[in-house]
Amino acid sequence: MNKIDQLFSNRGDRKLLSLYFCAGCPTADGTADILMTLQRRGVDMVEVGIPFSDPMADGPVIQDAATRALRGGMTLRRIFDQLRTIKDRLTMPTVLMGYLNPILQYGIEDFCRSCAECGVSGAIIPDLPFDDYLKYVKPVADRHNVRIIMLITPETSDERIRQIDQNTDGFIYMVSSAATTGAQKEFDKAKQEYFRRIADMGLRNPRMIGFGISNRQTFESATALAAGAIIGSKFVTLLNESANADEALDRLYDALGK
């Protein structure tokens, strides 16, 4: 069974925590070590960012991390090389998150094959058009048992949400707002109404909420109406400040009241 599917099947009522960091930041060769630390510390799932020169959905924190990683020589091929060294020890679901251009340059077939070979359970490609996913990417990903995770926003129509739900597996990534990534202190009434509206749709796939989660209040607001929460900018900031995944995680857990 795909590790993402296994995670959601076995979670019971537990609210899941998924973290994002950019491969190659804060150090060029630290991706594997960070992953193993997060696994040891009980993080449920991790998204590893593929650095790209034009990350249109990302705020300044993640843009800066991607720039630093690219300057350090990080590439998609190098990410796979590092992941390959821990594939037999990596039991935590790991998802690559990156834009379409580097993946197309690598090749869709080669990308999905490398994911399977390196213990990667899924991929999030924010600028992948849904119709192209259905026609070109889904058949290849399914063949390699790689879950392609699609994003929805408050502006996504119910019809498109149901299409995504019917044609994907793993989970649906609920973006909390149409803005770029970045920590927020609280979610306003409109965002909470959006969370509730999607929860009431009775979708087949579980949902994870991301963008803006940085403290106990936003974490609890998100997880009240979804399977869990995804934290990116806050963890990237802490990781860059400490250059130590254990210390960054200690500070994050303190902010979340965990």
| Catalytic position from the list 5, 44, 47, 165 | 47
Helix, strand, or coil here: 21? strand
Q: How far apart (Å, rounded) are the C-alpha atoms in residues 163 and 149?
A: 13
Pairing of strands 94-97, 228-231: unpaired
Tokens (6 digits) for 54: 């034009």
Q: How far apart (Å, rounded) are the C-alpha atoms in residues 8 and 10?
A: 5
Residue 58 is a catalytic residue: yes
Q: How far apart (Å, rounded) are the C-alpha atoms in residues 60 and 118?
A: 30
* Residue that is written with structure tokens 């979610």 in the block: 187
Pairing of strands 16-22, 228-231: parallel
| Catalytic position from the list 5, 13, 44, 58 | 58
Tell me the residue ranges of DSSP E strands in 86-171.
Answer: 94-97, 122-124, 147-149, 151-152
Residue 257: exposed, middle, or buried by beta-carbon count in 10 A (0-12, 13-18, 19+)? exposed
User: Contact 154/194 with Cβ under 8 angstroms?
Assistant: yes
Residue 44 is a catalytic residue: no
* Residue that is written with structure tokens 């949902």 in the block: 207
Active-site residues, by number, are: 47, 58
